């Protein structure tokens, strides 16, 4: 029997990780989904993000509309949009983590997949992945090393660590990526030996040590979660 997979993509986490590690965000999602599926049966892929504010972020709203239209035309890909609100000049993301965790758990309970593929490094999802493992499901986490939380790396059955070369042929255009900052180059040089695709969790102790959460690494807090300590200063 062919293994069934469902893909859950944390859009904000993926966007900032691509920007930081690859210098570009024009990912071709059909090819990306096919690569992650790797010949298995795809139940469906899900992309989660917030809807931009058309009044305060008009240009971003228009650009997001074009991007979402492309996603809607991708077979077997569903877009789920959460809400947001402003606290001062900071746009606060609301409900995205809950939506992702709920779908991962609900679809496992309905036996819609055999393996859940989570594209995120956010440690908030560790407990949800552990819960579906208790249902007898397999879990895979896909993330850049520098955006991966320790908790998530320890929970996944299979860990796919992303690097630039992973995305060859998976960009919408063939333009050259913008040059990363010196700080990004330094971080990438330190991590070069740590990118392996894919590896079982229990055989990668070097991944588990010293890996920080993506929320801490993300430059310039464009989106913040309700529980982010920055909101309570």
Which pLDDT belongs to residue 69?
A: 72
Closest CA to 225 of 152, 153, 124: 124
Q: What is the CA radius of gyration of the chain?
A: 17
pLDDT tens digits for range 93-137: 668 899 999 999 999 999 999 999 999 999 999 999 999 999 999
The tokens describing 147, both together, are: 């955006």
- For residue 230, give the DSSP letter: G
pLDDT tens digits for range 172-184: 886 554 544 444 4
Strands 90-94, 115-119: pairing kind? unpaired
pLDDT tens digits for range 28-81: 999 999 999 999 999 999 999 876 655 555 555 556 566 777 788 889 999 998
Q: What is the CATH number of domain 4-232?
A: 3.40.50.1010
- 50 against 216, higher pLDDT: 50
Distance (Å) of CA 156 to CA 70, 123, 142, 203, 217? 30, 11, 9, 12, 21
The tokens describing 93, both together, are: 């993301």
């Amino acid at each position: 029997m062919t293994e069934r997979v469902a893909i859950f993509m944390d859009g904000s986490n993926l966007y900032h990780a691509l920007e930081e590690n690859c210098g570009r965000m024009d990912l071709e999602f059909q090819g990306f989904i096919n690569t992650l599926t790797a010949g298995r049966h795809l139940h469906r892929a899900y992309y989660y993000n917030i809807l931009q504010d058309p009044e305060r972020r008009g240009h971003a709203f228009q650009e997001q509309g074009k991007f979402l239209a492309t996603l809607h035309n991708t077979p077997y890909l569903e877009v789920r949009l959460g809400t947001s609100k402003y606290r001062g000049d900071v746009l606060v993301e609301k409900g995205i983590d809950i939506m992702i965790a709920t779908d991962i758990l609900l679809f496992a309970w309905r036996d819609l997949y055999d393996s859940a593929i989570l594209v995120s490094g956010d440690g908030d999802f560790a407990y949800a992945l552990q819960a579906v493992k208790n249902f007898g499901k397999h879990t895979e986490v896909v993330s850049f090393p520098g955006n991966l939380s320790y908790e998530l790396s320890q929970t996944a059955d299979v860990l796919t660590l992303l690097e630039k070369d992973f995305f060859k042929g998976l960009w919408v255009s063939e333009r050259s990526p913008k040059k990363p900052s010196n700080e990004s180059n330094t971080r990438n040089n330190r991590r070069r030996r740590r990118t392996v695709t894919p590896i079982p969790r229990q055989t990668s102790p070097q991944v588990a040590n010293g890996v920080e959460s993506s929320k801490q690494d993300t430059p310039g807090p464009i989106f913040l979660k309700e529980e982010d300590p920055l909101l309570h200063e």
